[in-house]
């Protein structure tokens, strides 16, 4: 009948189910989801992928040019709207019903716009008109389209390809650091709060009487790590759907190989910090104490975060080896630079050692301070405290 031998699993379970019923937690997760979706989809919409641009035409020649341009752009770049004559087309352009109109001219075509014509549209139409015109001319001269294009193909080859363009890589670096920073800080505060709540409500004494205090700590760390990872996976899933829906799936090829590394760095860094946050909670006696007891944890997160965002590339390289800081900067570096494989391995080894050390110290402090409900303790004081 008495079966459960792993109380920390039960503690973790309670931690998870409580959070999943917590409206603020669900709410903040939804808001984050929304922000990520917008961030993924919005650029695509701004880049004009919202639907084909309408181009007015008045004859078959114009229609063919626009169709060619559309085919070059990938199939649905442009759409023709047929008008009876030039005045009708001019009116449609003025009213904004079409982006531009392609009208026949004495020696080719005119692209008609209102106050300006999008350079992308102009270039595409210009190229398509030239291609269609040249093919027609070549046909008259007895050349097939294949013969016409023979020897004109140009392809791109880079001797030193960077995985991503500069702006994108900055964005990715900051983004990955931010994901870790926000998650570790948000869940860290939740861990500290959940510990101090148990102290405040005095339920901790019953818990401590029933199971070893270390189990309480492990359960909390485990439960919150699972929650944090799940949150990230959900958000990653949402952005994946967003990317697929907006035809940006090619980014995935760059991101996918680093995803596994990110998870390893994330979990190790998160667990180390979680131990520290739990101690911050056990040093406090009331919610109000958390401001001061969580300060070291906040610093340990904040300093490497700003460092990894604003530091130069050599400093960033150093940071990517320093435990905790490495969780924020190494995955980003791997994504945007060519990082030799030994570097993340060394960083992980260092991080692992630090995590074991921090968690051990955390567990000791936690055991000593959890049942001290009298007043708030300082870290130094707690270290000097004798065991129960």
Indicate the residue among 160 and 387 with the shorter CB distance to other proteins.
387
One residue of 88, 211, 229, 361 binding other proteins per CB under 8 A: 211
Residue 14 engages other proteins in binding (rule: CB under 8 A):
yes
Contact by Cβ (8 Å): 241, 44: no
What is the C-alpha separation between 205 and 190, in angstroms, rounded?
A: 20
The CA–CA distances, whole Å, from 294 to 28, 120, 199, 288, 324 equal 21, 53, 16, 11, 16
Residue 37: what are its φ and ψ, rounded to 5°?
-60, -45
Q: How far is the CB of 383 from other proteins (least distance, A)?
A: 17
Of the pair 202, 380, the CB lying nearest other proteins is at 202
CB of 226 vs other proteins, minimal distance in Å: 18
Q: Give the integer Cα–Cα distance in Å for 147 and 170.
A: 45
> In terms of CB distance, is 53 or 198 closer to other proteins?
198
**Within positions 326 to 385, which residues make up the interface with other proteins, using CB under 8 A?**
371, 373
Site string for other proteins, 212-241 (x = CB under 8 A): x-----------------------------
CB 322 within 8 A of CB 304: yes
φ and ψ of 246, to 5 deg: -110, 20
220 touches 13 (CB < 8 A): no
Minimum CB distance to other proteins smaller for 292 or for 373 = 373
Residues 15-74 interacting with other proteins (rule: CB under 8 A): 18
Contact by Cβ (8 Å): 310, 302:
no
Residue range at the interface with other proteins (CB under 8 A); choices 149-157, 209-217, 268-276, 376-384: 209-217
Please provide residue 303's backbone torsions phi and psi, each rounded to the nearest 5 degrees: -60, -50
Residue 212 or 260: the one with the smaller Cβ distance to other proteins is: 212
Tell me whether residue 204 or residue 235 sits nearer to other proteins (CB atom): 204
Whole-number minimum distance, CB 22 to other proteins, in Å?
9
Nearest to other proteins of 17, 144 (CB atom) = 17
Residue closest to 289 by CA, chosen among 219, 185, 372: 372
Using CB under 8 A, pick the residue from 76, 118, 147, 205 that binds other proteins. 205
Closest listed residue to residue 184, CA positions, set 34, 290, 302, 308: 302
For residues 179 to 198, the per-residue mask of contacts with other proteins, x marking binding by CB under 8 A and - elsewhere, is ------------------xx
Which range, of 131-139, 202-210, 278-286, 332-340, touches other proteins by CB under 8 A? 202-210
Please work out the total of residues on this chain that contact other proteins, with binding judged by CB under 8 A. 26
Backbone phi, psi, residue 110, to 5°: -115, 135
Give the residue, chosen from 39, 210, 249, 353, that forms a contact with other proteins under the rule CB under 8 A: 210
Quote the least distance from Cβ 252 to other proteins, whole Å: 41
Burial of 362 (0-12, 13-18, 19+ CB in 10 A): buried
Minimum separation from the CB atom of position 187 to other proteins (A) = 19
What's the CA gap between 200 and 282, in Å, rounded?
Answer: 10
User: What secondary structure letter does DSSP report for 349?
Assistant: H
Question: Could you please report the per-residue DSSP string of 164-224?
Answer: S-HHHHHHHHHHHHHHHHHHHHHHHHHHHHHHHHHHHTTHHHHHHHHS-HHHHHHHHHHHH
Q: Which spans of this chain sit near other proteins (rule: CB under 8 A)?
A: 1-4, 7, 10, 14, 18, 197-198, 201-212, 371, 373, 387-388
């Amino acid at each position: 009948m008495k079966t459960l031998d792993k109380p920390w699993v039960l503690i973790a379970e309670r931690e998870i189910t409580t959070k999943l019923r917590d409206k603020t937690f669900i709410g903040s997760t939804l808001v984050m989801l929304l922000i990520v979706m917008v961030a993924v989809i919005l650029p695509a919409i701004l880049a004009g992928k919202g639907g084909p641009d309408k181009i007015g035409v008045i004859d078959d020649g114009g229609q063919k040019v626009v169709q060619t341009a559309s085919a070059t752009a990938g199939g649905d770049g442009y759409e023709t709207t047929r008008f009876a004559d030039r005045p009708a087309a001019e009116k449609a352009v003025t009213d904004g019903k079409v982006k531009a109109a392609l009208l026949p001219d004495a020696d080719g075509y005119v692209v008609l716009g209102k106050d300006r014509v999008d350079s992308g549209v102009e270039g595409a139409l210009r190229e398509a008109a030239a291609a269609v015109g040249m093919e027609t001319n070549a046909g008259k001269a007895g050349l097939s389209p294949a013969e016409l294009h023979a020897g004109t193909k140009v392809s791109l080859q880079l001797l030193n390809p960077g995985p991503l363009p500069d702006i994108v890589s900055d964005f990715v670096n900051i983004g990955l650091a931010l994901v870790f920073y926000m998650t570790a800080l948000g869940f860290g505060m939740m861990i500290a709060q959940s510990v101090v709540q148990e102290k405040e409500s005095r339920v901790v004494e019953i818990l401590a009487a029933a199971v070893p205090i270390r189990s309480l700590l492990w359960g909390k760390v485990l439960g919150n790590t699972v929650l944090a990872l799940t949150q990230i996976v959900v958000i990653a899933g949402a952005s994946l759907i967003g990317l697929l829906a907006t035809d940006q799936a090619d980014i995935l090829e760059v991101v996918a190989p680093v995803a596994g590394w990110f998870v390893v760095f994330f979990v190790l860094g998160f667990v180390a910090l979680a131990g520290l946050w739990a101690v911050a909670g056990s040093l406090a006696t009331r919610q109000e104490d958390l401001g001061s007891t969580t300060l070291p944890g906040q610093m340990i997160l904040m300093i490497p975060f700003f460092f990894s965002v604003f530091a130069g590339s050599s400093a960033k390289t150093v940071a990517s080896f320093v435990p905790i800081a490495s969780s924020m900067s190494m995955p980003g570096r791997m994504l945007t630079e060519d990082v030799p494989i030994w570097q993340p391995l060394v960083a992980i080894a260092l991080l692992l050692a630090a995590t074991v050390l921090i968690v051990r110290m955390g567990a000791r402090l936690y055991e000593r301070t959890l049942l001290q409900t009298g007043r708030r303790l300082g870290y130094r004081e707690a270290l000097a405290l004798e065991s129960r």
